[in-house]
Amino acid sequence: MSIAIEPGAGAPVVTVPQAGAIKVTMILSGAVFMLMMVFGLIMRAAQGQWIELDPALFYQILTAHGAGMVGTAALSGAAILWYFSGRHVVLTVGIFWAFLGLFLVGVVLILGAIFVGGFGGAWTFLFPLPALSGGAWEAEAAAAFMLGYVAIGVGFLLYYLELGRQIHARYGSLVRALGWNLILGREDDNPPPPTIVAAAAVTIFNSIGIILGAAVLVASLVHLLVPGFEVNALLAKNLIYFFGHVFINASIYMAVTAVYEILPEYTGRPWKSNRVFALAWNAVLIFVMAVYWHHLLQDVVMPPWMLVVGQLVSYFSGIPLIAVTAFSTFLYVRGSKMTWDLTSSLLVLSVAGWSVGSIPASIDGMISVNKVMHNTMWVPGHFHTYLLLGEVAMAFGFMAWLVRGKTISEMGTLDQAAFGTYLAGAAGFVAVFLFSGAASIPRRWAVHYEQWLTHDRIGTLFGVLVVLATLVFVVRFVVGLGRNDG
């Protein structure tokens, strides 16, 4: 059970942790992660000319893979944040089920748009591409795709409204929940724990991102129905990339609460909020919204000051992560004599992978590098590092913890093999992307030249390892749930 304290009450009250809803969500997340990885493997094998794939189908799979991985990362991150926030505030389970229902409605619309309607415009729905397909898909398919995004966005707004409402009720304001009493050195007899600081920050910046994303989605939908309706293409691109960058980063910032809540069980050291921690998360709140400009460095019509800010913030945005979460994880683990099971191994890997992923991202945020590297495999290299070795590893670590049982024991042979296979496969997979980017191999090409096939085929082999390890993680989770429930 989880413990929460009612506003104004002096004694703790027992609340339901909503584990059933979370377990269902993580089963869905694991299955979709698996499917999206298979999609990625198919695309790499097609680029390596090991299988034949019609280019139109390639771009449909690319669209499903991008939207699916981003969406599932956000879904699993939301489940993790909801679960651990429930230890500190009382959350309404009906809101989570409504969120999950709207998310699934969105998934059906998106998959229908892609594999029935033929939509292949990538996850960004970049204006005015949905309306100018050159005959590859009809307007109805583009509309269904964007309506799917709207349904998911509405679900997330419900989720954040409930989370923000309960945090406000429990701590008096989101400002206090962000740790401003700690920052200002004021007395606070009940400072917000790390999970609540993270929840407050994510609630603010991802709500803003989703609202702006919804605005451009609605404008694009109106343009589809009424072609004479004018939309400023540069403004639309800014809103799309703001929404997309904030949304995918939010998935990691939600999932990292698993590190804050679970690792203390292994180290015996509680993870507490302090002034530095609060300052770091307030910096994240600003940086995650300002850094998206580095996606637009090639748009020469952008105001120069925005591009300069985008480059500078790209440098600084990794500091809160490395200085607080990564460094704190190192200190918590160092000398703790913790037991290394699948949960602890995946969670520590996730922080390391997230930190390492910030390096190629910062390099790409340099204007001089970006103008020659942004449309190469370098970019999928850095965000696959964030995902495979970061957020997805956090999600799998959380799943392993849910079925771990009360006793912490060393990893068995199968867990060791699965973890080692996942680490080797994911590290090799992203390294091939980065080396391919350094070799100027372009991204998003369905057909590759012969000179690029060695990179593609090595990447495919590493991808096989990732899929095999993921299969073990997901099956292990489902079997563990059945055993625990029985």
Residue 120: pLDDT band (50, 70, 90) is very high
Residue 389: pLDDT band (50, 70, 90) is very high
Please state the three-class secondary structure of 219-244 as a single string. Answer: HHHHHHHCCCCCCCHHHHHHHHHHHH
DSSP class per residue in 133-202: -TTSS-HHHHHHHHHHHHHHHHHHHHHHHHHHHHHHHHHSSHHHHTTHHHHHT---SSPPPHHHHHHHHH
| Per-residue confidence (pLDDT) for residue 7, from 0 to 100 | 38
pLDDT in tens, 225-243: 888 888 899 999 999 999 9
Report d(CA 429, CA 470) in Å as an integer: 14
pLDDT for residue 191 is more than 60: yes
Average pLDDT, the chain: 90
The percent of residues in the chain predicted with pLDDT above 90, rounded, is 67
- Mean pLDDT over 343-349 rounds to 95
Whether omega for the bond prior to residue 193 falls within 30 degrees of 0, making it cis, is: no
pLDDT in tens, 256-295: 999 999 999 998 888 889 898 999 999 989 988 888 887 7
pLDDT in tens, 144-181: 999 999 999 999 999 999 999 999 999 999 999 999 99
DSSP class per residue in 451-481: GGHHHHHHHHHHHHHHHHHHHHHHHHHHHHH
pLDDT for residue 5 is more than 60: no
pLDDT for residue 484 is more than 90: no
C-alpha neighbours within 13 Å on the C-beta side of residue 124: 14
pLDDT for residue 407 is more than 80: no
pLDDT in tens, 73-95: 999 999 999 999 999 999 999 99
- Please, what's the b/e burial string for 463-479 (b: 16 or more CB within 10 A of its CB; e: otherwise)? bbbbbebbebbbebbbe
- Count of H helices and E strands in the chain? 19, 2
Tokens, residue 145: 């795709």
Residue 363: pLDDT band (50, 70, 90) is confident
The percent of residues in the chain predicted with pLDDT above 70, rounded, is 96
| Per-residue confidence (pLDDT) for residue 179, from 0 to 100 | 94
Residue length, the chain? 486
pLDDT for residue 106 is more than 60: yes
Helical (H) or strand (E) element with 50: none
- Mean pLDDT over 387-412 rounds to 91
- Mean pLDDT over 129-144 rounds to 91
pLDDT in tens, 432-474: 999 999 999 999 999 999 999 999 999 999 999 999 999 999 9
Report d(CA 125, CA 59) in Å as an integer: 13
**Most confidently modeled range among 150-154, 188-192, 280-284, 482-486:** 150-154
